[in-house]
Structure 1
Amino acid sequence: MKRSLIIFYAIIIYAVAELIWWGYMLVRLQPARFGMILGEGAMFVVVFLLGAYNMHKSVNKERKLQEQKKNFLLSVTHELKSPLASIKLLLQTIQKRDLTKAQTLDFIDKSLNDIERLDDMVENMLLASKIENRSYSFPKASFNLSTLVDTTVNRLQISKCDCNQQIIDAEIEPKIEITGDKFALTSVVTNLIENAVKYSRPCEALSVKLFRKDDKIYFQVADHGIGIPDEEKSRIFDRFYRVGSEDTRNTKGTGLGLYIVKQVLDKHEATIKVRDNRPAGSVFEVVFGLT
């Protein structure tokens, strides 16, 4: 890619230099037509440079996309290997050690959690692929959004802290019905909560709220994590985009979660906004219109 860019820029410089040279030669041969040559030459240079600039933007955009795809593949490989290695170790321990029933059940629970994590990841990749190929129809039906959010919160609740505290503080208004694609909206709720957990410090509390207000349904996820810089807020819903530098980032992820969230909500004519939390972190707010 770098070699192609060098060749591209070299051709641009050569073409501009040749244009200036031929313009100079024409003026020497026909001094009386200096104004016409200068005007037409200037117009050609402007059009040429505009084309070159747009070409540069396209090439640069493609280069960044290729880098993001490469990082995505590396991230997916790591994300898949980590839970698989954990499941393998847990099952080998059950197989080779004489464990108590309580220990065995604990190891099985941990294995099931890792399997659910793998399942979420595979569902994300499949849904993102279908959205990208426009092969997903988003079948809609009426269902209880309150139950969906409550079930997801309970599944993602973390209790690995020394204080054994409940880090997801949920305020869910009961019996909120909505018409939509339950499978796709489950992915929205899961991705937003998982992101909040992922970008928060261990045992850091986060908030999940679902409520009705002014003929609208609000779903909010607030964390006290690292936050999102203002210059990146407009890009976080792009495919493969992840906050921060690829070289220094420690947070796991594939860059598909928020892309899926935005695409699914657009299909449901819902909006999503992100704002800074106080004193630190981010708040994601989804707004559905009641139908």
Structure 2
Amino acid sequence: MKSKSRSILILSILFGYILLQFLWWEVLLVKQNDKIIGEKQKLVELMSTNEVQLKEDIAILHHKKKMQTVMIVSEGTVFLLLLLFGVYRIKVAYDKELFLNNQQKNFFLSITHELKTPIAATKLQLQTLQKQKLNENVQQELIANALLETERLNMLIDNVLFASRLEADEFIAKFEKQNLSILIDAILKRYYKNEINKGELSFNITPEVFHEIDSNSFPSVITNLIDNALKYSFPKKEVLLELENKNGMPFIKVSDNGCGISDSDKTKVFTKFFRAGNEETRSTKGTGLGLYIVNYILNKHKATIKIKDNIPNGSIFEIQFYEV
């Protein structure tokens, strides 16, 4: 931040110096023009013997003086506008470069944290199995936890790879009619068994809700929304997913009781790598890719997603499908 402020200060001083120099040169040109016209007028007065002709010559000189002054001011104004536009473009480019650098920094910080956490947890569980003689039930619990961490690590890598495919415009959706009720129920029970058992995640799924979806990408919509809701729900996690038919089309709602999303960030959260706050001080995990992927996939499905405040605390993500 100090580097940015220093750069802006230097740029402002440089621009101010150029502007003052330019205005000074323009004033000097106008004064020089007045002086030249004045000397010409004196010369005409000395040489002329015809009073009528003298008045005409002086009028011509004053007109010429006025035209040259207008020309100097006009050309100066155009130059000043071009200078202002150039400075503006430089600032836009600088801000964009700074934003991209911050995005890259935040992404590497977050992805490192995201990768280390499941790897460290899995390593600890496997070391425990290796070094201690445990009964069958404890062994199975440790193995299940290790597999769960591996599954989540795989989901993270899939998100990064999927985002790379989107960036390269390599994603192709294949739509087939699916029973969303069965599909979403299976996704929740596969990835969030522990959260469901703890009461942190509940769901209300209307049976027999059908729609044409891409079965390869659509699960990412559910997992990213649930992960996001669980991540930002504290101190007590209470996430609810609902599926129903609304106006004859699928309608999905994910509600949480977390910290919520400010109005200014509601449109930014679907931007790639965007995360509110500073990555070095943020305690919650994440890469800033989840909601970006959600929004992209839903656009391909001709679906809309909206964010609302969950009174008194938290957020509500609403997804409305339309005809593909």
Q: What is the Cα deviation at residue 35 of structure 1?
A: 2.8
Gaps of 5+ in 2: 35-64
| RMSD after superposition | 2.1
Distance 1:236 1:186 in 2: 19
Distance 1:283 1:48 in 2: 47
Q: What is the Cα deviation at residue 27 of structure 1?
A: 1.1
Bigger CA radius of gyration? 2
Other structure's SS at 1:260 match: helix
Q: Which residue of 2 aligns with 1:225?
A: 258
Correspondence for 1:75 among 104, 107, 110:
110
Residue 23 of structure 1 aligns to which amino acid in structure 2? E
Q: Which residue of 1 aligns with 2:27?
A: 24
More deviation in 178-187 or 113-122?
A: 178-187
Other structure's SS at 1:272 match: strand
Please tell me whether residue 236 in structure 1 is matched to residue 269 in structure 2.
yes
Distance 2:190 2:19 in 1: 62
More deviation in 67-76 or 146-155?
A: 146-155
More deviation in 182-191 or 40-49?
A: 40-49
Q: What is the Cα deviation at residue 165 of structure 1?
A: 3.7
Q: Which residue of 2 aligns with 1:12?
A: 15
CA deviation map 1:80-135 (0-9, x unaligned): 11111111111111111100000000000100110011011000000001101111
Residue 318 of structure 2 aligns to which amino acid in structure 1? E
Identical aligned residues as a percent: 40
Count of equivalent residues = 289
Shift of the 250–158 alpha-carbon distance from structure 1 to 2, 3 Å rule, reads farther
Distance 1:139 1:55 in 2: 43
Q: What is the Cα deviation at residue 172 of structure 1?
A: 0.8
Asked whether the 8 Å contact 2:110–2:279 carries over to 1, the reply is no
Task: Output the TM-score relative to the length of structure 1.
Answer: 0.91
Asked whether the 8 Å contact 1:217–1:290 carries over to 2, the reply is no
Asked whether the 8 Å contact 1:196–1:225 carries over to 2, the reply is yes
More deviation in 23-32 or 204-213?
A: 23-32
Q: What is the Cα deviation at residue 21 of structure 1?
A: 2.9
Other structure's SS at 2:286 match: coil
Asked whether the 8 Å contact 2:302–2:323 carries over to 1, the reply is no
Please tell me whether residue 187 in structure 1 is matched to residue 215 in structure 2.
no
The residue correspondences of 1:49-88 to structure 2 (distance < 5 A) are: 49-88=84-123
Other structure's SS at 1:12 match: helix
Distance 2:89 2:299 in 1: 29
More deviation in 120-129 or 164-173?
A: 164-173
More deviation in 166-175 or 106-115?
A: 166-175
Distance 1:230 1:176 in 2: 32
Q: Which residue of 1 aligns with 2:319?
A: 286
Residue 188 of structure 1 aligns to which amino acid in structure 2? V
CA deviation map 1:204-257 (0-9, x unaligned): 211101111112211110101000111111111111101233343211100010
Q: What is the Cα deviation at residue 138 of structure 1?
A: 2.1
Other structure's SS at 2:243 match: strand
Asked whether the 8 Å contact 1:23–1:37 carries over to 2, the reply is yes
More deviation in 273-282 or 144-153?
A: 144-153
Distance 1:12 1:140 in 2: 56
Correspondence for 1:205 among 238, 241, 249:
238
Runs (4+) of structure 1 moved beyond 6 Å? none
Task: Output the TM-score relative to the length of structure 2.
Answer: 0.83
Residue 275 of structure 2 aligns to which amino acid in structure 1? R
Q: What is the Cα deviation at residue 5 of structure 1?
A: 5.6
Distance 1:104 1:95 in 2: 10
Please tell me whether residue 96 in structure 1 is matched to residue 99 in structure 2.
no
Asked whether the 8 Å contact 1:75–1:253 carries over to 2, the reply is yes
Please tell me whether residue 37 in structure 1 is matched to residue 75 in structure 2.
no
More deviation in 219-228 or 10-19?
A: 10-19
Gaps of 5+ in 1: none
